Structure 1
Amino acid sequence: MQKLFIIILLVFLQIPVYAQGTDVSFDSTYESAVVTGTTQGQGENILYVTELPSGETINLDTYGEAVPIGSRVYLEHFTDQGYYNFVAVNRNKGILILLTVFIFCILALAGKKGVRSLIALGASMGLLFWVLVPLLVNGFDPIVTTLVFGLGVLGFSIFITHGLNRQSLVSFIGSFSSIVIAAVLLYCVTRAASMTGFIDDHIQYLSFATDNTLNLVRIISASVLIGILGVLDDITITQVAVVRELSDNDTLSKRNIFQKSLRVGRDHVASLVNTLVFAYLGATLPMVMYVSLLEIPFWILTSYEFIFVEIIRSLIGAIALTLAVPVTTWLATYVFIKSIRTEGEAFSTACSHNHH
């Protein structure tokens, strides 16, 4: 569930960029239409015969994109000019099918906890679109704002899914501590690297649409922090659960429990770091393929800003995950061992009084 959260965040963060980049100097509306056939345009250009909701048909230029007959497409209608512009093929049906399958799988496997997990995911996405993105677009500090956003996301993800208890609270504190450490590292690294923030077209569109008022380097840092959020609660919840189970064994000292829990955490970290790095590599596969074709020394390639960002994204994410294990394990050991010992002492005292 947490890994899916990363993917959804990374994909949908692009939507506000395009929305801000839309030319608003013309009156326009969006309409849905159906492609009914093709016709020959100028030269070898193929135009698509498209039926509008009103029943009128127009010849539509899709700018080289092949559109199957019968497909539903989205058009931008410039009402003051009577002109229609092709926007995209309607692909929402595929999304709805996959979303339905996803929800079914979650509910079938996780039951009530799956329901709570879906509610937490929905709340986190709402917080992203309706709170974080508007604040960032309006110039609020990206790192500080994202840290506050992280409090909300971790709160939804942990407390709604796992309940309001000591185990969840320790996991929450451990996760947020790791995010803060990652934010400090990002701040130091990006300042030392003399970054500009212009790493791809999306960033340039965003800068243009907001009149160059945003700190792009901090926006990139915020995206790195968001990418880490989804996997932190996974590892911290597991670590706290391990400590909680081991703490029931009265023969183990606090040191023993910490060491045994840490050994479990090492295995978990190894798999999660691998998952995180390959998730980033998979998302940037076209870039990796392009870089492989360049006859440029590796140490020079890594200094290119768009490559540098992906490297620090993976490394800082891995560092945050790794540090989350000892931080959360130590905190859980302190909280649970102290609590259990206090309860045990109270029980012993009560028994002693009853005996007398």
Structure 2
Amino acid sequence: MGADHSRPAPPTPPGVRRVLVATVVPLFLVTLVAALILWPDRAPQVDGGGDVPRYHGTVTRVVTEACPPAAPTPEGPASAPEGPCGTATVRVEQGPDEGQQVETPIPDGPGAPTIAVGDEIVLVELTDPADPESSSYNIAEHQRGKPLIWLAVLFAAAIVAFGRWRGLAALGGLVASFAILLTFVLPGISAGRSPLLVAVVGAALIMFVVLYLTHGISAQTSVAVLGTLGSLVVTGLLGSAATAATHLTGYGTEEATTLSMFQGNVDLHGLLLAGIIIGSLGVLDDVTVTQAATVTELAHANPGLSRLQLYRSATRVGRAHIASVVNTIVLAYAGASLPLLLLLVADSRPVSQVLTSEFLAQEIVRSAVATLGLIAAVPLTTALAALVTAAGRGTATDRAATTAGAPTPPGGGTGSARPPAPRDDALQALSAPRAASQSPDAPARWPDQERSTDTAW
């Protein structure tokens, strides 16, 4: 989660560090206590009595044949037979028939796997209800374990090779995120806890662990943590108001309806809000870390910038970031809902009815609330970062400016102004206006600090 936007920042004044510690530590303790209170006593028991045995196998032979004609139906003549038809010989690699060759029908129908000799597949053992002693095997799907493992290895190797220690920390944060989701959030919701409360506490716990593990313990990271936490609260409040105003029940998808049949104690309305919170967290932390790092870099490049100037400059960066992130959110939801969008295209109802139906209104609310939470994160985090970055540096900045503007006493001495360092010369040359547009009397300084750098349309 998140991205590395930072470099070693100047030391934070002790007073500011104490304020941040006094703010962040109690919030972390409250999150930890809430997680312990909401932690499920035991994992929910799932009835596995209806599960059929599944075993690994390898296809050793495939024999295809013509499909028999389909029987006529009362609605009309027989349809053309669907294929492929025939049998496949599979070597069983697990279970009571391990090492034996068994024959299975070639899978057919929508979504059936296409098999060939040498494919590693998954077999299901079906028992005849009339004769429990009689059983047969069918091919369910391909084995995907090895390709997924190699993809995960490539994923981890690329991150570590490019990010080095920072990439390794990011992988640790990813593992911690999934650990919290699998051991706290999902079991807590399955146990009947409030999905919204569990999601907020789980997201806050993920945020504390991942941000400090990935970006280190610093004032800049603490600002990002506070900005993320505040934005999560705003997102939760907006989500509650939006779902209440649109009367969403949470039954907008087939998965939610199926879940209600198997686990009736799950609050599907709260589960919808929980999904919005968890889905927003991954983008929120990138926005808040970026804004905190931007303010730090601006203050490092020009220590003379005031809090208001830092805020305005960093907010302009935030606007550009949000403009791209909004498109990312909408496309991410659209990509995950392509079957739903295709159904909408084929729907014969008026567009107004389609847009206001629950299954589409749910996606609209999800995207809009997540975007509003991101927009709120920019001014909130930027204001906090400007306060923290500029705190305790006013006296030193004013003294440096006074010293730089004072005439050099004859003979030098301790009161003489410090000669500009090469880095200061470079910054001044980069920040000075162009020679063609600069009058001879204009002082060389940071270009108009109130001027917007946004490109005109």
The alignment's TM-score, normalised by the length of structure 2, stands at 0.67
Q: In structure 2, list runs of 5 or more residues that go unmatched.
A: 4-43, 69-82, 401-414, 416-457
Residues 30, 327 of structure 1: alpha-carbon distance in 2 compared, 3 angstrom cutoff = same
AA aligned opposite 1:137: S
Match of residue 49 from structure 1? 89
Number of the residue aligned with 1:322: 375
Cα separation, partners in 2 of 1:60 and 1:198, compared to 1, 3 Å: farther
Distance 2:173 2:248 in 1: 35
1:207 aligns with 2:291: no
Paired with 2:253 and 2:274, the residues of 1 have a C-alpha distance of 16
Residue 231 of structure 1: how far off its partner (Å): 0.9
Q: Is 1:219 aligned to 2:271, yes or no? A: yes
Write the deviation string for residues 187-235 of structure 1: whole angstroms up to 9, x where unpaired.
112122222322222212211111x221111112211211111111111
> Can you list the C-alpha shifts for 1:287-317, whole angstroms capped at 9, x where unaligned?
2122122233222111111111111111111
Match of 1:72 in 2: 120
State the partner residue of 1:59: 103
* Aligned 1:171-182 pairs, distance under 5 A: 171-182=224-235
1:95 and 1:180 mapped to 2: Cα distance? Answer: 36
- Cα gap change, 1:84/1:155 in structure 2, threshold over 3 Å: closer, same or farther? farther
What does the per-residue CA deviation read over 1:226-276, in whole Å, with 9 as the maximum and x for residues that have no partner? Answer: 111111111111100111122343322211111111001100111111111
Measured at CA, do residues 96 and 314 of structure 1 come closer, stay the same or move farther in structure 2, by a change above 3 Å? same
1:72 CA drift (Å) = 1.3
User: Is this contact kept in 2: 1:182–1:319, CA < 8 A?
Assistant: yes
Shift, 1:346, TM fit? 12
CA, structure 1 residues 40+24, in 2 after alignment: closer, same or farther (shift >3 Å)? farther
* Residue correspondences, number: 333
Letter paired with 2:91: E
2:55 corresponds to: 31
- 1:250 is matched with which residue? 303
Look up the match of 1:300: 353
Aligned equivalents of 2:397 and 2:255: distance in 1?
59
Match of residue 283 from structure 2: 231
Task: Give me the whole-angstrom Cα distance separating, in 2, the residues matched to 1:140 and 1:198.
Answer: 18
Going from structure 1 to structure 2, the CA distance change for 1:89 and 1:259 (only over 3 Å counts) comes to same
Rg (Cα) greater in structure: 2
What is the identity, as a one-letter code, of the residue corresponding to 2:191?
N
Is 1:111 aligned to 2:151, yes or no? no
Paired position in structure 1 for 2:330:
277
Task: Please name the residue that 1:92 is paired with.
Answer: 145
> What is the match of residue 129 of structure 1?
182
Q: Show CA shifts across 1:151-193 (max 9, x none).
A: 1211222111100111111101101111111111111121222
- State percent identity of aligned pairs: 29
2-structure distance, mates of 1:24, 1:84: 20
Q: RCO (CA 8 Å, sep 6+): is it higher in 1 or 2?
A: 1
Contact 1:157 1:233 (8 Å CA) reproduced: no
What are the ranges of 5 or more consecutive residues in structure 1 without an aligned counterpart? Answer: 4-19, 348-354
**Aligned with 1:247: secondary structure?**
helix
Q: Does 193-202 or 297-306 show the bigger shift?
A: 193-202
